[in-house]
Chains A and B, each alone.
Chain A
Amino acid sequence: MSPFLFFLLAVPLVVFSLGVVLARSPVRSALSLVVALFLLAVMFFLLDARMIAALQVIVYAGAIMVLFLFVIMLLNLQQEPVETARPGQRTIAGVFSLVFLFFMGAIALRGLPVMPGPGVETAVTPSFGSVEALAERLFTRHALAFEVTSVLLLVAIVGAVVLARKIQR
C-alpha cells in the first residue's frame, strides 16, 4: 500500500473514529463506527488480507453494528442526555487515555517485525492472508481453539435468552 493510499484511508478513519466519540446523536455515533470499520476493512484489503477484510465487514459492520442500532432504537435513545460527570471522572479517563496513547505510540514508532505497512509490502509471502493459509492454520494447529469457540458461542446464546427473558418480565 502506497503512503498516499494509506493516508487517504487513515485520515478519514481517524475522523470517523472521533465521530463515534463526539457525535451527540447515538445513531450518528453508531454510523460513524460503521464507516470506520468499513474503512478499516478497505485497509485490510489493500494489505492483501482480503479474507479478513471480508469477515470484518460481514461480522462487525453487517452483524454487530445492526445489534447496536437495534439497541439504540429499542431503548429510544434520542439525544445523549447532558452528562453530569462525577468529580475526577474526566481526569481518570484522561490519564488512562494518555497511558494507552503512550504505549500505542511506542509500538507504532518501533514498528512490529512482520507488520506490513507503508513501504514494507515486499516482506509478505505470496500466500499471505489467503483463505487456504488461514484455514490450514485454523483447522489443524488451532483445532482445539476452534472447537472451544463453539462452546463460547453456545454460552452467548444461553446468556442472551436468559437476559431477554428477564427483560420481558
Chain B
Amino acid sequence: MLTLILISAVKALIVVAMVLNLAGILGWVERKGSALIQDRIGANRAAIFGFAGAGLVNTLLADPIKFLTKEDVIPRGVDRLLHTLAPCVSLFPAMVAFAVVPFGDRLHVGELVVNLQAIEVDVGVLFLLAMTSLGVYGVVLGGWASNNRLSLLGGIRGSAQMISYELAMGLGVVAVVLTYGSLDFQEIVRRQGHMIGGWIPSWGILYQPLAFLLLLIAGIAETKRAPFDLPEGESEIVSGYFTEYSGIKYLMFFMTDFVEIAIVSAVVTTFFFGGWQIPFLGSQGFVFPWGWSLALPHVVVVLLQVAAYMVKVFVFCCLQVLVRWSMPRLRYDQLMWFGWKVMLPLGLANLVVTALVLLWVRG
C-alpha cells in the first residue's frame, strides 16, 4: 500500500517536472522561433553574469520570477473567487491529462514492476478525453469573471470553438480505438512494437493517416492557437478571456497553453508514432533485420525508450509552434464551417471505412 502510494507519487512528480520543464523550454522555442521566422533577435535581455544563454535565462528564469512578483490585479465588481478559480480550473485538468499518457515501458526494479505511466487507468483514452473536456471551464470562467466585454467575447468564442472541435477529436480517437481494440494507452503502444515484414515499424500513422490529421488539427483548435486563436485574437479583443489577468494567474493561463500543446503532441505520438517505441529496439536491445544486434541492459533500454518518447513529443511541440507562426487566423464562420462541415463528416467517413476494412481484413 505505502509502496504503491510512493511509486505513484514519484511517477506523478516525474510527469509534473517533465511538463513544467517542457512548458519552460517551449516558451523559449516559441519566443526564439517566432523571432527566427520574423527575422528578429528575440529574447536576449536577461543574463546572469553576462550569460544570456541565447535567451534561455530570459524564458526559464526571468519570466517566472517576474510573473510571480507582479501584482495580481482584480478588476472592480467581479466575483473574486471565480476570477481566482478560472486559471486553476484551466491548468489542473491539463496537467492531469498529460499524466495519463505513458512515458515508458514497464521498469523492473528487483521484485517491483513499475509501469511508467503516472495514472495507470485501463480506460486511459476515456480518462484523457474526460479531462480535456473540462478544459473549457477555464475559458468560460475567465471570460465571465472579468467584468470585461472583450473577455466575455473571448470566453464564449473559445468555448464554442472547443466544443465544436471536440467532436472531430472524439471521432478520430474512436477510429484509433477501433484499430487497436483497446482504451489502454500502454496496450496501444505495445501493439505498435512489431515490424511489418521485419523492416517497417507498425506505427499507427500507417493505419490511420486521416485520423492523425483530424486529431492534430482538432488538437490545435483545442489549444486555441493560431490559426484557431480567435478566443484571444489580440488584434480585436486585446487578449480574449485572459485580458484582465496579470501576475501568476496570467502565467497559469499561459502554461495551460503549453501543457495543452504537450498533450496534443503526446497523444499524437502515442497513437500514431509508436509512443515510447524505438524501431528495432526490443527488451534485450537492438536487433536489426540485416543481422546486426546490440545487447543492452534493461535499465538502458527503458531509459532510451523514455528519451525517445520525450524527443517525439518535443518534435511535435515544435511543429505546432511552427504552425502557429506561419498560419493566418481564420474567420469565425470559416472556423465553424471547418469544424462542423469538414472535420465532422470526414471523421464519420473515416470511421465507417475503418470498420469496413477491419471486417474485410480480419474476416
A residues in contact (CB < 8 Å) with B = 25, 27-28, 31, 34, 38, 41, 50-51, 53-55, 57-58, 61-63, 66, 69-70, 73, 130-131
Contact = CB atoms under 8 A, between A and B. Distances in A.
Given A25-B79, A31-B82, A55-B126, A63 B159 contact: no
B184 to A, nearest CB: 10
Interface in B226-252: none
A57 B130 contact: yes
B134 A61 contact: yes
A51 B134 CA distance: 17
A58 B125 CA distance: 12
For chain B, give the interface size range.
Answer: 20 to 34
Contact of A28 (B79, B136, B156): B79
Given A28-B79, A38-B134, A57-B133, 19 more contacts: A25-B79, A27-B79, A27-B82, A27-B145, A28-B82, A50-B123, A50-B127, A51-B123, A53-B130, A54-B123, A57-B131, A62-B130, A62-B133, A63-B163, A66-B136, A70-B159, A73-B140, A130-B122, A131-B123
Chain A interface, >50% SS class: helix
Interface in B267-308: none
Interface string B168-184: 00000000000000010
Which of B123, B134, B156 has the largest count of A CB atoms less than 10 A from its CB?
Answer: B123
Interface of B: 79, 81-82, 85, 121-123, 126-127, 129-131, 133-134, 136-137, 140-141, 144-145, 152, 156, 159, 163, 166, 183
B159 A57 contact: no
Given A28-B82, A57-B134, A131-B183, A66 B129 contact: no
B137 A51 contact: no
Given A31-B82, A69-B140, A131-B183, A54 B152 contact: no
A62 B82 contact: no
Contacts of B123: 50-51, 54, 131
Chain B interface, >50% SS class: helix
A25 to B, nearest CB: 7
B133 A61 contact: yes
Contact of A66 (B79, B130, B140, B145): B140
29 contacts: A27-B82, A27-B141, A27-B145, A28-B79, A28-B81, A31-B82, A31-B85, A31-B137, A34-B137, A38-B134, A41-B130, A50-B121, A54-B123, A54-B127, A55-B126, A57-B131, A57-B133, A61-B134, A62-B130, A62-B133, A62-B166, A63-B133, A63-B163, A66-B140, A69-B159, A70-B156, A73-B144, A73-B156, A131-B123
A58 B129 contact: yes
Contacts of B131: 57
A69 B163 CA distance: 13
A51 B130 CA distance: 11
